[in-house]
Structure 1
Amino acid sequence: MDRLFLAAFYILLSIAAFAFGKAVNRWVRHPAANAPTIAILVVIGVLLLSRQNYAAYMHHGGGVIAWLLGPATVALGIPLARQTKTLTKEAWPICAAVVAGAVSAAISAPLILRALGGSHILVLSMAPKAVTTPVAMQITARIGGVPALAAVFAIVGGAIVAVIAEPVLSKLRINDQRVFGLTAGVAGSGFGAAQALSRSPQAGAYAALAVGVNAIVTAILVPIFWSWNLF
């Protein structure tokens, strides 16, 4: 009974935290007040106050929320399908941009981390940080990193992109919804796609495509770079 209660509590906590994040975002209307980031902070706060650790949360209900990341990622195909004609016309430029972003993300962070004295395990775990959490964990496990660390890097990286993408592009005077979607999807994965969807259907579609293509390209490139001892 206690296990069922905890599982129900943590599932409801996660849903309520996200709903609260959405409400705050509608009120504040600032990139830093995005729903996923707020939800994460709320859950962390509750765990700290109740003196529960992350393992307990994942074991009692949190794992269900984590499992839903897979279907949620697949659901990004809905806005993608609605923009098929437009995306088809720009297929080659989009693919070139996403591949360039994937290569940059896969190489830059590990090399910077290694140059600053980071351990080899951290380098391997950070390499696939720009893809969705489930994919990042699988890639990291394959090359000998720590999947749990890969999940943390993917989530933190996505949260950072969700906060800074819009202000940075605004400073650069880039207001094209397509550019915002591709940028958010490649660099911020699920977090970025969520931010893009809240901005416009077109941005959401381009972000969804970027998330999918980036996951495929990264899953191919990171093991190759690892086999070449680039990390």
Structure 2
Amino acid sequence: MTALLDHLLATPLLAIALTLAAHAAGTRLLKALGAPAWCPPILAAALLLAGVLALLSIDYADYRRGAAWLMLLLGPATVALGLPLHQQMPRIIALWRPLLACLPVAVLLAAAYAVGIAWWLGAPPEILAALAPKSVTAPIALGINAQIGGPVSLMMGGLLITGVATVGFVSLGARLLGIHDERIIGLALGLNGHALGTVRAFEIGPVAGAFASLGMSLTGILSALFLPLAWRLVGA
């Protein structure tokens, strides 16, 4: 059995097959449960995949090496979100002043509160580095991680937890505060929840999806520009 796994892991086929199977199983499971908004299919898929890797004693580094081919699709998928941005450009331009005022603050807080809490709890610098890009979409977060360091597996876990938590808390907060404006909800989902929040925003409507795409894109750009610089300045 071990020899067979080693042979299969020498190619990307096993990692890709496990990933696609976990996603399909997670999607079917959540549909059977009524597709709760607080639990996206990727969370169920990640938990199923983690269980399979543990059961088969497959090292995460081996799995990640094979699944790297799928990671190549993240870039084009992110760029494709420019289409809804173009379609909603008149609405976005009309709000350029409040957007310009809130985006830098939101990006700063998205990185600062996670790093600050971890630092207060005594986390070492490599853990702080892994948590800093937690609200940035995966392709850009990987680039930031290459510059500031930190375990990639922890960073990816932070991205998943952040996205899932954002979907739940933004939905709950919007209900409690009586916010129904799709622009506000979508922007909050994209700013904090990157791709997972953006997917949820498109389920709400095209306007929410476009503003989530804007929030996710600009969060990624500003974080890529300033996080590595800030990391060097503080000497972390």
Give the TM-score of the pair, scaled to structure 1.
Answer: 0.87
Provide, for residues 102-158 of structure 1, a one-character-per-residue CA deviation record: whole Å limited to 9, x for no partner: 011122211121111111221122112110122122213213434443233222222
1:52 pairs, out of 46, 55, 58, with 58
Contact persistence 2:9–2:63 (CA under 8 A): no
Equivalent in the alignment of 2:106: 101
2:71 pairs, out of 36, 45, 66, with 66
2:49 pairs, out of 43, 50, 65, with 43
SS at match of 1:32: coil
Provide, for residues 170-198 of structure 1, a one-character-per-residue CA deviation record: whole Å limited to 9, x for no partner: 12222211111111111111111111112
Q: 1:26 to 1:199 in 2, by over 3 A?
A: farther
Q: Which whole-Å CA distance do the structure 2 matches of 1:207 and 1:13 have between them?
A: 30
Contact persistence 2:38–2:167 (CA under 8 A): yes
> Which residues in structure 2 correspond to 1:41-190 (within 5 Å)?
41-60=47-66, 62-190=67-195
Q: Which whole-Å CA distance do the structure 2 matches of 1:111 and 1:4 have between them?
A: 39
Q: Is 1:31 aligned to 2:50, yes or no? A: no
1:206 CA displacement: 0.5
Structure 1: which 5+ residue stretches go unaligned? none
Structure 2: which 5+ residue stretches go unaligned? none
SS at match of 2:234: coil
1:6 CA displacement: 6.3
Provide, for residues 59-113 of structure 1, a one-character-per-residue CA deviation record: whole Å limited to 9, x for no partner: 33x2222221111111211222221121121122223222221011122211121
1:202 CA displacement: 1.0
Q: Which whole-Å CA distance do the structure 2 matches of 1:90 and 1:20 have between them?
A: 41
Q: Which whole-Å CA distance do the structure 1 matches of 2:28 and 2:86 have between them?
A: 28
Contact persistence 1:103–1:221 (CA under 8 A): no
Percent of residue pairs bearing the same amino acid type: 31
Contact persistence 1:185–1:206 (CA under 8 A): yes
Q: How many residues align structurally? A: 230
SS at match of 2:135: coil
Q: Which whole-Å CA distance do the structure 2 matches of 1:129 and 1:230 have between them?
A: 20
The letter of the residue matching 2:200 is Q
2:15 pairs, out of 10, 15, 20, with 10
Contact persistence 1:131–1:215 (CA under 8 A): yes
Q: 1:22 to 1:200 in 2, by over 3 A?
A: farther
Contact persistence 1:185–1:210 (CA under 8 A): yes
Equivalent in the alignment of 1:200: 205
Q: 1:78 to 1:24 in 2, by over 3 A?
A: farther
- Cα RMSD after superposing both structures: 2.4
Q: Which whole-Å CA distance do the structure 2 matches of 1:84 and 1:23 have between them?
A: 35
Q: Which deviates more, 132-141 or 108-117?
A: 132-141
Q: Which whole-Å CA distance do the structure 2 matches of 1:161 and 1:168 have between them?
A: 10
Contact persistence 1:80–1:208 (CA under 8 A): yes
Q: Which deviates more, 90-99 or 110-119?
A: 90-99
Equivalent in the alignment of 2:218: 213
